[in-house]
Amino acid sequence: MTQASAENEGRGISPVEEPESLFERFPWLYAICRDHLFRDDTKRISSALWPVGVPAKGSSLSELGCGPAFYARHLAARFGHLRVTGVDRSGRQLRRARTHALARRLSNCTFEQGDVRALAWPTGSVDALVASRLFMVLSEPERAVAEMYRVLKPGGRCFIAEPRSALRASVPLQAMRLLATLADFGGERGRSYREPGGVSVLDVGGFRSLIKTQPWSAARHWRDTWYQYALCEKGPERDGT
Ligand SMILES: C[S@@+](CC[C@H](N)C(=O)[O-])C[C@H]1O[C@@H](n2cnc3c(N)ncnc32)[C@H](O)[C@@H]1O
């Protein structure tokens, strides 16, 4: 049973089976693309989230829609005192991420299965968030941004990185889809998967509008040829809020 159908059953709604996710079916293929094809923004993320150079002792960071947890693992390795959590819907992506974290003896890096549009964490409980290449595959991204705002502590920051080229960003999904077609050959005809054939990347205006759906005290956007970025800060708590 999928997580969504389990949730529905708990509410007395008859379970509706969602199609399988390609990220769940071929976690190793996405991990290869992540490790060898995509940009490594670890340094950019570190200096944006912690301009003083290091996170405060005991602070926490979560990578949302972490997949193989490239950033969760790299940041946990870089800052041994940071408490890092990777969250993803796909159990198999998380299993892979966990194996890699164990192999590197990262005792400060844990993983949770969940939906970034409905996080299980209390309001104001996380110091920093990273969301990389997430919105391009996510339906209802504004719900995820609302959750990001909610779970951040006052003064907390989030770093968002989204690709700008749909063609390049679609490469892993196209490769996974091709593999699925080959693997399903002779079996279930026309089997459908959760992800569409390609991804639709946000244009500059759409990216800004998405960020603006929450009342950040500060938000900076910037971009280069291949990526657009946002660094957002949640303001200090006001009386009565
Ligand atoms: C394109 S991958 C990005 C992985 C990683 N952040 C990176 O930088 O490569 C998108 C990930 O988001 C996950 N995902 C999609 N929808 C999700 C949701 N609603 N909640 C949690 N994770 C989700 C997928 O399982 C997949 O691992």
Would you list the domain boundaries of the chain? 27-213
pLDDT at 170: 87
pLDDT at 199: 80
pLDDT at 6: 40
pLDDT at 189: 62
Nearest to 117 by CA among 88, 154, 86: 88
| Backbone phi, psi, residue 114, to 5° | -175, 170
pLDDT at 239: 54
Query: Which pTM was predicted?
Result: 0.89
Block residue for tokens 């993983």: 111
Alpha carbons 126 and 109: distance in angstroms, whole number:
14
pLDDT at 89: 96
Give the fold, CATH level 3, of 27-213: Rossmann fold (3.40.50)
| Backbone phi, psi, residue 110, to 5° | -120, 170
Nearest protein Cα to ligand 1, atom 13 = 65
Q: Give the ligand 1 atom nearest the CA of 27.
A: 27
pLDDT at 3: 43
DSSP alpha helix (H) spans, 152-198: 166-169, 171-184
CA of 238 to the centre of ligand 1 (A): 33
pLDDT at 188: 62
The overall average pLDDT reported for the chain is: 89
Half-sphere exposure of residue 164: CA atoms within 13 angstroms, side-chain side? 11
Q: Which helix (H) or strand (E) holds 147?
A: helix 141-151
Give the chain's residues under pLDDT 50: 1-15, 240-241
CA of 220 to the centre of ligand 1 (A): 23
pLDDT at 196: 74
CA of 27 to the centre of ligand 1 (A): 11
pLDDT at 238: 62
Alpha carbons 173 and 179: distance in angstroms, whole number:
10
Strands (E), the chain: 60-64, 83-88, 109-113, 126-132, 152-163, 218-223, 227-233
Q: Give the ligand 1 atom nearest the CA of 130.
A: 6
pLDDT at 11: 42
Instruction: Please work out whether the CB of residue 70 comes within 6 Å of at least one atom of ligand 1.
Output: yes
Instruction: Please work out whether the CB of residue 133 comes within 6 Å of at least one atom of ligand 1.
Output: yes
